[in-house]
Structure 1
Amino acid sequence: MEKKLPIGISSFEKIRSEPYYYVDKTPFVAKLVEEGTYYFLSRPRRFGKSLFVDTLKQAFLGRKELFQGLYLEKNWDWSVKYPVIHIDFGGRTFKGEEHLITYILEQLEKNQETLGVPCSEKTLYDICFKELILKSYEKYKQKVVVLIDEYDKPILDCIEDRETAKRIRDILVKFYIILKPLDRYLKFVLLTGVLKFYMSSIFSGLNFLNDITLSRKYSTICGFAQEELEEVFREELQDKDLELIRCWYNGYSWLGEPVYNPFDILLYLEEKKFHPYWFETGTPSFLVKLLLEKRFYLPELENLVATDTLIGSFDVDRVRPENLLFQAGYLTIKRIFSLADKILYELSYPNKEVKVALNEVLAEYFTGDTGEVPLKTRDFLLALEGNQFEKMKKVLEGLYAGIPHDWFRKNELSRYEGYYASCFYAFLCGSGLEVIPEDITNKGQIDLTVLYRERAYLFEFKVVEGEGVEGKALAQLKEKGYHKKYEGKSKEIYLIGIEFSSGERNIKGFFWERL
């Protein structure tokens, strides 16, 4: 007698009830199953990973009725149904090891009930996992499908406490390693998450997984490609500025065609206004603290070069900002090139949403000002609009005055020119201005350029010692002739030299000149 597989509530089923919202990603389901068995996929949060996992689940459960009109309807063997073990770490905030172990056992018990497979082991999560796979295979006479969504969330929830994060990592290693020797019982395995942890930790036991994160042929497996967006949402986009939508929400790239964040698109079409919807679903507090701790030069976020190793894995023992920025979705791949037989990746912001929203947060944190930055932004933009340079200076003085004194006692930030430039850069980018850091000319490099209403503002920064103010920053701008890059391109060109006092920890000199 055939054993019937139980069916639960499906997010894929809910989406399919409103076809307007669904972009057909089922060709990737067929492709994955045809080409292999064990996979790992990393994508930023709110990018459709969970929906794709559930799509796989419903296909393996044989629910053909949900796939009418989709690619998979005629490109899947619906005569075979498989037992599916689905574990989702995305629905819980993890506070420690005991909490994690309890949750794993709850998830395993839920799968036992769904599959009708009782297990004798109730306390040892790894042994229980193995028993569930073996008994499911025995009961249904079919290989088992294992889908683990947000596999890394327990670690991310505790990432600010490195020691706790390591202990949680070790628990997950013990749990996931169960899959490796059970090949003959497994039909398909997929782990999804935000970060890929370094090979010496979790993935040392999961090296049999095929990591498709940077595979060109799977680059659009999550997110909306341009053609998909315009086809599925044709009616809703009729009166919309497609180029502006692209500027705000497109640009995420994993070596293939760039894609839109689906979370942003759906909310934009519902609310009918541009807003950092995705960014506001998570606060990058750990990342912001890490950038400050590492004295990261923020203008480098515009054009960061990283190695294949650096962007490919994450290590709790040695956290690198570049790696976290890329895998969490704050930076994306803009170009790939090779130098001396080494593969290098050029990283930058994916779009306007991330650039503006991230820098707004960075400006508040780097200046210690959590309440007045929006007001200073307004005042600076008004000053810029009217070319009121004294007012610009006062706004910036107020910005730097907010830097906590404790930060200077712990290090030599007062002598660190890059810190002042980073604060200024984050403040301007967070204001939504067009900012070009380290602006290259044939005469040299401008520290920072702002383009606004056919005007070009060229900035040079210097940190000075003692009481004297010499105007060296402005003199350098004039001497180097950097402005020639913008002659004929901008109606007005302004040179602005800013000198920071290491003693007063603020602006000492602010000189400007119109050419």
Structure 2
Amino acid sequence: MNTVRYGSKEYTYGLTDFARIQKDNYYYVDKTQYIPLIERAAPYFFLIRPRRFGKSLLIDVLTWYYDINRKDRFEEVFAGCRIVDNPTAEQGKYLILSFNFSDVNPMPDKVFESFEQHCGFRFMEFADSYGRFFEPGFREELMRQPSADAKFSYLVSRATQLDLPIYLFIDEYDNFANAILAREGHDRYHALTHSEGFFRYFFNKIKAAATGDRAIKRMFITGVSPVTMDDVTSGFNIGANMSADSRFNGLVGFSEEDLKTMLNYYDAQGMLSDGVEDIIKVMKPWYDNYCFSKRSLNEPMYNSDMVLYFLNNYLPHQEAPDQMIDNNIRTDYNKLRHLIRIDKTFGVNASIIQDVVANGSIRAEINSSFPAEAIVLPENFKSLLYYFGLLSIQEVSMGRTILGIPNLTVREQLYTYLIEAYREAHIFNLDYHELEDLVWKMAYQGEWEPVFRYFASELERQSRVREFIEGEAHVKGFLLAYLGMVGGYIIQPEYEAGKGYADFYMMPDLLHQPDIAYSYIVEVKYARRDATDADIETLRREATGQLQRYAADPLVAQTKGDTRLGLITLVFKGWELVVCEM
């Protein structure tokens, strides 16, 4: 955890201890207004959100709110929060049993022992906290039970007999299961989540404890996908999946209003060297634009971890960080990569990522439940990308949901995945350092043509890639993935300008490279191998006219700064670059 102390409110990045946030006067983005909504919505509440989106802090807030042992500290700990003036009748009414399965070691030879150990410690903490509500000897008898599921059954049985209500929290329920699926494959995962697998059996116990007049009265479970829940419960039938409910679109993460309020606070403390709107303008394309409900298209959310990473760097230095992406985010996306890169021969799902990279969006229906073995189906795969935060709801058009890449942070991750998919399938590979040097000359010396000639020469030399060049989108996919990984430019595919869409705009990254000299709009056209010279000329003229319209758009003038704008036409005939002009 990195902490910087400023003014009357301290600021922290990485802290999920709600009581400490309040006690030590850290800035807290209040989410307590959702507590009554959660109560009314479902007693057994399931929330899926991408990694590092504030789920763990939310759970800590809820445990402090409902814990019977902390009832008398409610006004102290929740001071300044919306809920403090109008608490619900259930405040401070529950015994809290909580698990965080990110603590479980996912190595196959360690996972059972680690799971048992984690659960054992949590049962011991429960007994230490609430032993006075039970008969003498409860703690000792609980800990004598031979397994986690036996301890759970005993605890629930005694609490039911004594009419003691329990609120069960499970954070990152699918963490170690996902890791096993990614590293070890379906067989190991299946043994964990099916038939007599210990994880499935544990969830069977949870289902039983939440049935009828048993002690588990409320439950709150978080994770990053519905896959494991589908497998361990044969469909989520122990509660309500509220992930797509519009009432909870803003339950975690920051709305733009949240962000403005925070920035206005620090501005009032004299801690911002730039205006609030200027800072938001910098942050928005990198961290914003997550939408979790079709009815919440006008309420996009910022990833809270990304925002706090930015502020943790901005506040002490009074300027944006050199690296806009938190390395912790990259690490987490690398973990997800092993789950989504499942077709090493560059099959349908790798092509889905390529299409998303090239076009910026894709039509899809979000499936709320599917087993791990069905991830390979295209609609499930698109849904998985959505749950992981790699795609977000962009619009609903003609009754179909359109998923798009939410921001530049995610776009970089998808570029990485696509490049690795090309390489692992032995389809295409470029010398990254040579390309980076060429793009640097393009940016600062205006030498643009060698970049595309190099790319075209590699398309011709690496013969296997020709099998995958079926049209403009595939050519663009190759270009965008590699150009997006080098510095100097923010690559904007399908850039809306001049009442049309340029194939991509190489927008100068003036924030980090203010002395960059050139920017470019690129229009890519594709012709079949049997195209005539007249066909090629028609495409060339079409591209030239489009580029002139794009260049006249005010959005380009606002973003190019003092750079000289180049308009580049590329026409490919199959894999051959036959027109390369500016």
Query: Which bracket does the TM-score occupy, shorter chain normalised?
Result: 0.7 to 0.9
Tell me, yes or no, if the aligned pair for 2:123 and 2:151 is still in contact at 8 Å: no
Superposed counterparts of 1:366-515, under 5 Å: 366-367=422-423, 372-373=431-432, 376-383=435-442, 386-397=445-456, 400=459, 408=464, 413=467, 416-417=470-471, 419-431=474-486, 432-437=489-494, 448-450=503-505, 452=507, 455-462=520-527, 464=529, 475-478=538-541, 482-483=546-547, 485-486=549-550, 488-489=552-553, 493-501=567-575, 508-514=576-582
Paired residue for 1:4? none
Deviation (angstroms), 1:398: 7.0
Q: One-letter code of the match for 2:123?
A: Q
Paired residue for 1:197? 227
Farther off after superposition, 272-281 or 54-63: 272-281
CA distance in 1 between partners of 2:261 and 2:61 (Å) = 21
In structure 2, relative to structure 1, the CA distance for the partners of 1:323 and 1:36 (3 Å cut) is: closer
Q: Structure 2 regions of 5+ residues with no counterpart?
A: 1-14, 128-138, 315-320, 508-517, 557-564
Tell whether 2:245 aligns with 1:227: no
Farther off after superposition, 177-186 or 224-233: 177-186
CA distance in 2 between partners of 1:399 and 1:136 (Å) = 68
Tell me, yes or no, if the aligned pair for 1:251 and 1:259 is still in contact at 8 Å: yes
Tell whether 2:29 aligns with 1:23: yes
2:119 pairs with 108, 111, 118, which one?
A: 108
Q: Secondary structure at the match of 1:59?
A: helix
1:246 pairs with 265, 269, 284, which one?
A: 284
In structure 2, relative to structure 1, the CA distance for the partners of 1:472 and 1:509 (3 Å cut) is: farther
Tell whether 2:325 aligns with 1:276: yes
In structure 2, relative to structure 1, the CA distance for the partners of 1:145 and 1:436 (3 Å cut) is: same
CA distance in 2 between partners of 1:288 and 1:382 (Å) = 35
Paired residue for 2:12? none
Q: Secondary structure at the match of 1:242?
A: helix
CA distance in 2 between partners of 1:33 and 1:90 (Å) = 26
CA distance in 2 between partners of 1:475 and 1:250 (Å) = 40
Paired residue for 1:128? 151
Q: One-letter code of the match for 2:451?
A: M
Give a deviation string over 1:456-496, Cα, whole Å, max 9, x none.
3211235649xx99696565232576446437437754321
Give a deviation string over 1:50-101, Cα, whole Å, max 9, x none.
11111111212142132122223331448744211111111234122x6333
Give a deviation string over 1:264-305, Cα, whole Å, max 9, x none.
111111112151115313214325633744341524341111
Give a deviation string over 1:110-152, Cα, whole Å, max 9, x none.
132112234276444434322222224446x421111111111
Paired residue for 1:6? none
Q: One-letter code of the match for 2:81?
A: L
Q: Secondary structure at the match of 1:131?
A: helix
Paired residue for 1:47? 53
Paired residue for 2:364? 306
1:345 pairs with 380, 401, 412, which one?
A: 401
Tell me, yes or no, if the aligned pair for 1:290 and 1:321 is still in contact at 8 Å: no
TM-score (norm 2): 0.73
In structure 2, relative to structure 1, the CA distance for the partners of 1:87 and 1:471 (3 Å cut) is: farther
Farther off after superposition, 70-79 or 177-186: 70-79
Tell me, yes or no, if the aligned pair for 1:249 and 1:265 is still in contact at 8 Å: yes
In structure 2, relative to structure 1, the CA distance for the partners of 1:68 and 1:374 (3 Å cut) is: farther
Q: One-letter code of the match for 1:264?
A: M
2:239 pairs with 170, 190, 209, which one?
A: 209
Q: Secondary structure at the match of 2:94?
A: coil
Paired residue for 2:132? none
Report % sequence identity.
18
Deviation (angstroms), 1:419: 4.5
Farther off after superposition, 20-29 or 324-333: 20-29
Tell me, yes or no, if the aligned pair for 2:171 and 2:222 is still in contact at 8 Å: yes
Paired residue for 1:329? 389
Q: Secondary structure at the match of 2:156?
A: helix
Deviation (angstroms), 1:13: 1.9
Q: Secondary structure at the match of 1:234?
A: helix
Tell me, yes or no, if the aligned pair for 1:472 and 1:497 is still in contact at 8 Å: no
Paired residue for 1:13? 19
Farther off after superposition, 239-248 or 417-426: 417-426
CA distance in 2 between partners of 1:146 and 1:275 (Å) = 37
Tell me, yes or no, if the aligned pair for 1:39 and 1:209 is still in contact at 8 Å: yes
Paired residue for 1:168? 192
More helix by share: 2
1:285 pairs with 314, 337, 340, which one?
A: 337
In structure 2, relative to structure 1, the CA distance for the partners of 1:356 and 1:401 (3 Å cut) is: farther
Farther off after superposition, 451-460 or 104-113: 451-460
Tell me, yes or no, if the aligned pair for 2:469 and 2:475 is still in contact at 8 Å: no
In structure 2, relative to structure 1, the CA distance for the partners of 1:494 and 1:194 (3 Å cut) is: same
Q: Secondary structure at the match of 1:430?
A: coil
TM-score (norm 1): 0.81
Q: Secondary structure at the match of 2:180?
A: coil
Farther off after superposition, 271-280 or 152-161: 271-280
CA distance in 1 between partners of 2:468 and 2:41 (Å) = 56
Q: Secondary structure at the match of 2:341?
A: helix
Give a deviation string over 1:355-398, Cα, whole Å, max 9, x none.
23432453355256999425523522532554434412344257
Farther off after superposition, 427-436 or 48-57: 427-436
Deviation (angstroms), 1:246: 1.6
CA distance in 1 between partners of 2:266 and 2:468 (Å) = 52
Tell whether 2:372 aligns with 1:316: yes
Q: Secondary structure at the match of 1:16?
A: helix
Q: Secondary structure at the match of 1:254?
A: coil
Tell me, yes or no, if the aligned pair for 1:144 and 1:187 is still in contact at 8 Å: yes
Paired residue for 1:5? none
Q: One-letter code of the match for 2:441?
A: L
Q: Secondary structure at the match of 1:46?
A: coil
